[in-house]
Structure 1
């Protein structure tokens, strides 16, 4: 796309989503148009559409922000097309989705402000979206989903569980990727979780799941999951990866269960002979959130290229946490206190590092802002879409 077309799309999209309810209204119009033209597609989606609308809006924001990097957004869209196979979405459905979004944008913008130039620019964007997602769906020869059995459920905190599964056939994921997951308690809802261990030929996968207050799925995962439950897993997505050929050392920053994709990569590195230096900052709000420090300490003690730094925002655990305080193993870096992004930035610009960030969307945004303010080149930083 030329720069003028990109500017027109971005300007129009900002106008559409300027109000607090703008993105939600656009999503509502899109799904109303889509299901109005294709009623049969409604059965592919969950009964409650709130989270689906949020995801749709977030994906649109990401795409509009990335229009000047066509290679990046084509890769993202093809991945989305592969991912949507788990819902039963086929490549032939995407033109209908393109029409539904086009009409939603026109309706929301209003006839008086929908110019020929804006029309042409959005048509180009929508053709790119439709073609890339359809191509992604058609290009994938892997199964749309895999079945797995829960073989372990360990409640490490009141709101956090480590869940181990054994797949009927191994899922071909790479350390650092995430997988769509569906549980029997919520059969039409998928959530994305990052394996905390690398791929293995036994087909075992470990997820670290935090219960989200008011969530639809995570409370059932943490509170109700039992050994023997059957889960479904979709095709692997994303890809926080270490570039072994760049020669650069690595900085990893993970908070809460965002540790999982970083942990899996570190474990994978331990099986190799030569590795870059890796600094891994492990964060949590309270000291008790550093639930996996013994494992990380073991990895650091046996791999001299790995440095682990624990970080907490507060000095003490919350009043409702009754377990004894987690002691940092001897030989581990002392625990630091403060927002993890500011703590990491206080060590310098890290301009010579490959940098990965994993955690909540707000944590990722705050950490990127702190690093960039401290002189870190934005091009060094990678994270999955928030």
Structure 2
């Protein structure tokens, strides 16, 4: 661990238990410094408050991992073009963050901590601005919902047709907004297909609790509605130069990018075996199992292993997905794609580390949707 990482982690520990209050103070300072910024955010800030501050803190604390986060931060800058962010607003956010940390760090906050956060935030801001400036495409595109299908009580599959160009790589995700139902609230969803001639995109959406966007997408959205899509992000796509066999681990609607990866492989793969582990809580949540079985029948190189964690006697593998993966292998010479909830991803990464799978061969994008 570098000195910068040590200082960031030590200082965050001083304020972590009061992060809700810190977030409230942070936003108050941002909106006071630039009142026009308030119009970029939803009227109700309860969820957004935790999301933005959490993203900043996670990025700052990972600043010493340039290989993993350089492209991520540039793509995040491209994504933030949807807010019409200007360089001066980065300065306002940075100043508000430092002031909030000083206030809640109280007497234990030191000049060394202050400088560490300043340096880390400056790196992040520069990379994000670099990504935004290099992107000449539109900040977002409108897309029309052309199909909406409920697959379970809380899962829906949407197909949309962008009304402008949207170039992406199979496995990436986008920020999505429903202007009709939840204006100014953006959430991230993976694209569930490889590029098609007609340009349509599929999304797999689960309503999470009282989630604003997920609830609108599952229960209210219908064909003809318009949504907005921001710039594609993420690095969970296939390296076509690799000759290693592939293992895909998908939990719940984390199946979406895995399906895109499978479709991409189907366009060129002839000799790489692809093993798909698809897990859910119970058999009803294996919402896309019939289509996966169809794909496994169509492609001899594709094998499928469904699993349920809380459905004893359902007829297939039982247990947590990370434990099911442990039962097979060996996996040291495979490329991995992992997608699902943050908890599922963490458990799978731990299992793969124990199985001596090199971390450089594991691709994942961890984010929450609501």
Q: 2:159 matched to which residue of 1?
A: 164
For 2:286 and 2:328, the matched residues in 1 are separated by 21
How has the CA–CA distance of structure 1 residues 357 and 141 changed in structure 2, closer, same or farther, with 3 Å as cutoff? same
How does the TM-score come out when normalised to structure 2?
A: 0.93
Q: Is the 8 A contact 2:250 2:339 kept in 1?
A: yes
Q: 2:296 matched to which residue of 1?
A: 300
Q: Is the 8 A contact 1:62 1:385 kept in 2?
A: no
Stretches of 4+ aligned residues off by more than 6 angstroms: none
Q: 2:358 matched to which residue of 1?
A: 377
For 1:143 and 1:119, the matched residues in 2 are separated by 37
For 2:64 and 2:220, the matched residues in 1 are separated by 45
Q: Is the 8 A contact 1:159 1:211 kept in 2?
A: yes
Q: Is the 8 A contact 1:10 1:65 kept in 2?
A: yes
Deviations 1:41-93 (A, max 9, x none): 11111112222222224323432442321243332222221111112222332
Deviation at 1:337, TM superposition (A): 0.8
Matched, 1:356 2:337: yes
Residue of 234, 239, 242 corresponding to 1:246 = 242
Q: Is the 8 A contact 1:91 1:135 kept in 2?
A: no
Q: 2:12 matched to which residue of 1?
A: 13
Aligned length: 366
Deviation at 1:5, TM superposition (A): 2.7
Residue of 143, 147, 153 corresponding to 2:142 = 147
Deviation at 1:205, TM superposition (A): 0.7
Residue of 175, 192, 203 corresponding to 1:180 = 175
Secondary structure of the 1:188 match is strand
Deviations 1:249-290 (A, max 9, x none): 211100111101000110121121535221110111111111
For 2:216 and 2:41, the matched residues in 1 are separated by 19
For 1:227 and 1:266, the matched residues in 2 are separated by 27
Secondary structure of the 1:295 match is helix
Deviations 1:292-314 (A, max 9, x none): 12211121112122111111113
Q: Is the 8 A contact 1:166 1:205 kept in 2?
A: yes
Q: Is the 8 A contact 1:253 1:280 kept in 2?
A: yes
Residue of 7, 30, 34 corresponding to 1:34 = 30
Deviation at 1:379, TM superposition (A): 3.6
Q: Is the 8 A contact 1:155 1:222 kept in 2?
A: yes
Structure with larger RCO (C-alpha < 8 A, sep 6+): 2
How has the CA–CA distance of structure 1 residues 6 and 316 changed in structure 2, closer, same or farther, with 3 Å as cutoff? closer
Considering only aligned residues, what root-mean-square deviation do their CA atoms show, in Å? 2.0
Secondary structure of the 2:185 match is coil
Alignment of 1:32-71 (within 5 A): 32-71=28-67
For 1:58 and 1:66, the matched residues in 2 are separated by 12
Unaligned runs of 5+ in 2: none
Q: 2:90 matched to which residue of 1?
A: 94
For 1:15 and 1:247, the matched residues in 2 are separated by 47
How does the TM-score come out when normalised to structure 1?
A: 0.89
Matched, 1:224 2:223: no
Q: 1:123 matched to which residue of 2?
A: 118
For 2:290 and 2:119, the matched residues in 1 are separated by 52
Residue of 133, 148, 173 corresponding to 1:138 = 133
How has the CA–CA distance of structure 1 residues 170 and 5 changed in structure 2, closer, same or farther, with 3 Å as cutoff? closer
Deviation at 1:156, TM superposition (A): 1.6
Secondary structure of the 1:213 match is coil
